[in-house]
Amino acid sequence: MDSIAGLALGFGNALTLTNLAWALLGCFLGTAVGVLPGIGPALTIALLLPITFQVSATGAFILFCGVFYGAMYGGSTTSILLNTPGESGSIITALEGAKMARNGRAGPALATAAIGSFVAGTVGTLGIAFIGPVIVEWALVLGPAEYFSLMVLCFVTVSAVLGSSALRGLTSLAFGLMLGLVGIDLQTGQPRLTFGVPELLDGVNVVLVAVALFAVGEALHMAWRHHGGEAQVLPVGSVMLSKQDLKRSFWPWMRGAGLGFPFGVLPAGGTEMPTMLSYYAERKLAKPKYQKEFGTTGAIEGVAGPEAANNAAAAGILVPMLTLGLPTSATAAIMLSAFQSYGINPGPLLFTQQAELVWTLIASLFIANVMLVVLNLPLVGLWVRILKIPVPQLYAGILVFATIGTYGISNSVWDLVILYTLGVVAMFMRRFDFPVAPVVIGMILGPMAEQALRQALTISQGEWSVFVTRPGSAVILAIAVLALAGPRLWAIVAKRRG
Amino acid sequence: MKPGAVPDLAVGLGVVALGAMAGWLTWVIPVTPVYAVVGPKLVPALVAGALAALGLLLVVAALRGGWSADIPEVAEAGPPNVVSLAWLGGGMLLNLVLIVPLGFALSAAIQFVCTARAFGSRSPLRDAAIALLVSLGAFFLFVEALGVNIGAGLLEGAILRALGREVT
């Protein structure tokens, strides 16, 4: 099916009342969790996973994607008004956005962030619709050896290339891989890493791990560092862009979207890098008379560009997830586990076997974008109210939902014990600067990588050389090695030179 | 060795210990004669080896001066707030003990009050009122909307009976 026909089919399905309602609910929830510090889309989708038993796959994924996109919009509100970025993609937005807000320009900052998110989200979704099928064509020729190499590349980029330290990123990844191994080996039926405990035969639940890492660990870490004092919410004023603001925002939106999307698509995942690049580009490219606003009164270009890059990258992350089944962010990893609980395997066959689901989802992303820009501009006052929920009750509420989300899975107190134990581990991970996203990605992608490895070795009759003799696999592995070793070699070379 | 690097050393040793534990767990995986090119032990052994090796590298990094003391977030933070952590941890432990006898809503409400206290709230009665609203709201949301079966506790059962519904 080509993209135009696909989109026609998708919009036909997405515009039904039920699916529109799912999209609206997702956008609303997503914006709320994006606004609230301490909860993000990964945690929210993990807590919502039980609906996969009740709701059709289409409805559930429209909801999840609404949450995913919505959190990107909501995150910018917190960055601008509180100067505390809710998620990594909006750290850069806080730089200029909070300065604009302090100088009475919160309204234009929020407006350029929301419209920029809309522009970039639309560009990114167009990218999914038109690039997705092309990648699928190409991915159909990949065998298990290439898949395994792709997953290795994915592991390297999410843990070693992004983040402050390759060593700590890889340690997080290995911990996640270990958690993923717990349970019965599907191929030979042997129990692995279970300590002989029968409850562990089914493996460690992904919801449990996500909730422990993102909710319990976060709450413990905040309590550890708690020293009183409330953050100040800056006043909003009128949310309008003047003609001049619009002119100054337009090209940063476009450049941000163009920069963000490819970063999301490549398994170089993450939104930090494109937002940072966009920020530096805009600071360089801004007219001289505006350049002095950077870092002083806050320049609108420095909000428009990174916000657009952030949303385009988020859209891009859906491309490898839908076409190859490779999640490159924690949220995508949890969405992948939702696909698995429907018995659907994301990957090249998804576009043909589940064409209706895929295209409805893509159409819903366009609809979600329109809903979000409406939710975020006229209704910005509502989100400011949400921001004023006091911290003690907010974290207390998050823990109540964390408890019910885990206890509800099995009604087992042991799950709560594991939840709180992993929460303590996550607190120490935060304190010692270990990233948590690679844990979730390793846990979900690890078993798939093992399966690909075994298939490849079965086909090659145990010949390990298959990973380097097949050209596709060899190239991908070479890129992975380069991504891992390149920056270090470069540092050594640069040091020698001088 | 810098004094700030001692906690980092402990972390490195902890990761080595985790790798050793994974190695031991791999060792005891039973292997059946079922034919498989890659048996059940290979990948766990690789992961255990990776954990141990990464742990050793972390130990080396710690001996060279550590990393965490230089993070601005850690450097600026004061000493750990033991009182906050105790309230939060106490709330978790109470929840573990009480969730079966009292049921979710009451147990979670008690945890809510403790958590709010951990973050500096000084009005336990108001918190308790909010807590019951939140925990009952969460209960009915999960049971009715998400279809998650959480056994009704004392409070939930009483409300369901008052509504004339069957209590499971």
Q: pLDDT tens digits, residue range A331-357?
A: 999 999 999 889 998 888 898 889 999
| Cβ of residue B35 closer than 8 Å to a chain A Cβ | no
Single-letter code of the amino acid located at A367:
I
Does A230 have pLDDT greater than 70?
no
Q: Determine the average pLDDT of the residues in A154-160.
A: 87
Determine, for residues B38 and A413 on separate chains, whether the beta-carbon distance falls below 8 Å: no
Looking at the complex, report in whole angstroms how far the Cα of residue B164 sits from the nearest Cα belonging to chain A.
Answer: 24
Determine, for residues B84 and A224 on separate chains, whether the beta-carbon distance falls below 8 Å: yes
Q: What pLDDT does residue B1 have?
A: 60
List the single residue in B40, B74, B120 with the smallest CB-CB distance to A431: B74
* Percent of residues, chain A, with pLDDT higher than 70: 97
Confirm if A387 and A101 have CB atoms less than 8 A apart.
no
| Cβ of residue A183 closer than 8 Å to a chain B Cβ | no
| Cβ of residue B163 closer than 8 Å to a chain A Cβ | no
Does A315 have pLDDT greater than 60?
yes
State how far the alpha carbon of A298 is from the alpha carbons of A117, A233, A294, A446, B128, in Å. 19, 17, 5, 43, 43
Cα nearest neighbour of B50 on chain A: A174
With bands split at pLDDT 50, 70 and 90, how would you rate the model's confidence at A391?
confident
Determine, for residues B18 and A192 on separate chains, whether the beta-carbon distance falls below 8 Å: no
Higher pLDDT, A440 or A83: A440
Q: pLDDT tens digits, residue range A70-108?
A: 998 988 888 888 887 766 777 888 888 989 998 889 999
A-to-B residue pairs, Cβ atoms closer than 8 angstroms: 207
Higher pLDDT, B30 or A174: A174
- Chain A CB contacts of B95 below 8 Å: 403, 416
Cα nearest neighbour of B39 on chain A: A188
Residues 6+ apart with CB under 8 A from A466: A145, A456, A457, A459, A460, A473
Q: What share of chain B is helix, strand, coil (3-state, %, to 5)?
A: 75, 0, 25
> Which 227-256 residues of chain A touch chain B by CB within 8 A?
227-228
Q: CB-hemisphere CA count at 13 Å for A266?
A: 17
Its pTM stands at 0.91
With bands split at pLDDT 50, 70 and 90, how would you rate the model's confidence at A125?
very high
Cα nearest neighbour of A192 on chain B: B29
List the single residue in A178, A225, A404 with the smallest CB-CB distance to B47: A178
Residue to mutate among A22, A91, A192, with most B CBs inside 10 A, is A192
Burial A449-463 (b: 16+ CB within 10 A, else e): bbbbbbbbbeebeee
Determine, for residues B32 and A224 on separate chains, whether the beta-carbon distance falls below 8 Å: no
Q: What pLDDT does residue A31 have?
A: 94
Q: What pLDDT does residue B35 have?
A: 62
Determine, for residues A395 and B119 on separate chains, whether the beta-carbon distance falls below 8 Å: yes
Does A1 have pLDDT greater than 70?
no
Q: pLDDT tens digits, residue range B101-158?
A: 999 999 999 999 999 999 988 999 999 999 999 999 988 888 888 777 787 888 888 8
- Chain A CB contacts of B134 below 8 Å: 396-397, 400
Determine, for residues B146 and A403 on separate chains, whether the beta-carbon distance falls below 8 Å: no
Q: What pLDDT does residue A386 have?
A: 87
